[in-house]
Amino acid sequence: MPEELRAEALKNRDRLISGNRVELETIRQRKDGARFDASVMAKGISLGFDQVAVYLIYRDITERKKAERKLERSEANLFESQRLCTCAVGRTTRHPEW
């Protein structure tokens, strides 16, 4: 895991030990150092005698996050295009000689 996210991980560990479920999207790091977007689902499981096991599922959601960012850029471009068209139509309507 990236060093800058260690505090987040410790907080989530404490939540798991307390019996809470953790679901989040975050960044994780592979053994080779490459980072990736991850969906994390985790649940602490009491084993008795003050022992807790943790069940974790990591899913690589890199492609989904790329698609979300692309959609956000596309929507921003569309909004800007609509804004510019509205300005142009407004000018044409007010000043037909332009």
- Global pTM value: 0.64
Summarize pLDDT for 47-77 with one digit per residue, the tens: 888 888 888 999 999 999 999 999 999 998 8
Q: Do 42 and 12 form a contact (C-beta atoms < 8 A)?
A: yes
How far, rounded to the nearest angstrom, does the alpha carbon of residue 95 sit from its chain's CA centroid?
A: 47
Give one word for 31, left, alpha or beta, with left for phi > 0 and alpha for psi -120 to 50: alpha
Q: For all residues of the chain together, what is the average pLDDT? A: 84
Q: Is a pLDDT exceeding 60 seen at residue 78?
A: yes
Summarize pLDDT for 7-45 with one digit per residue, the tens: 888 888 888 888 789 999 999 989 999 999 999 999 988
Of 33, 41, 51, residue with least CA distance to 12: 41
